[in-house]
């Protein structure tokens, strides 16, 4: 029990740091600051586009890939992968409530299989969620 509480505490602390962001730049600079300066590729995007941007993405996905609902296709695949792990995790229940507006991925190099990479997303409501997580653990000394 102590080990699980310690893991939850460390995870929440890391999320709080990531959720609070850094210093002087705008909100979009926070994700970029997590990637090393010498990363081979850094990509950042809006997670849930709206309006004209959403229409443009859906139009491109339809014309190029024959995908009518790219967001639905991504979520369907994500939930399928999560189900394969045997855990009780779903996008709608466990991921969506935490997501902010932007996400990023970087590749350190293109060597290896898979190559070294990391992904990050802006988080919302992290302190409230961590409070609920930590209150669900009984810390035994």
pTM above 0.75, yes or no: no
Instruction: Please tell me the total count of domains within the chain.
Output: 1
> Domain of 62?
2-135
List of the chain residues with pLDDT < 70: 1-29, 125-141
Encoded tokens for 48: 């849930």
Tell me if 91 sits within 8 A of 82, measured CB to CB. yes
Q: Is residue 140 part of a domain?
A: no
Residues with Cβ within 8 Å of residue 96, at least 6 apart in sequence: none
Q: Is residue 90 part of a domain?
A: yes
For the segment 10-43, what is each residue's pLDDT rounded down to a tens digit? 454 444 444 443 344 455 458 888 888 999 999 8
pLDDT of residue 111: 87
pLDDT of residue 124: 76
């Amino acid at each position: 029990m102590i080990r699980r509480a310690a893991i939850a505490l460390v995870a929440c602390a890391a999320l709080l740091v990531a959720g609070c962001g850094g210093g002087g730049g705008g909100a979009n600079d926070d994700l970029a600051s997590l990637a090393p300066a010498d990363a081979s590729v850094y990509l950042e995007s809006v997670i849930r586009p709206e309006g004209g941007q959403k229409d443009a993405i859906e139009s491109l996905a339809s014309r190029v890939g024959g995908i009518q609902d790219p967001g639905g296709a991504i979520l369907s695949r994500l939930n399928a992968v999560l189900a394969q792990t045997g855990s009780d995790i779903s996008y709608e229940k466990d991921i969506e409530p935490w997501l902010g507006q932007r996400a990023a991925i970087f590749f350190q190099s293109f060597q290896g299989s898979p190559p070294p990479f990391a992904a990050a997303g802006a988080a919302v409501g992290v302190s409230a969620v961590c409070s609920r997580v930590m209150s669900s653990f009984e810390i035994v000394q």
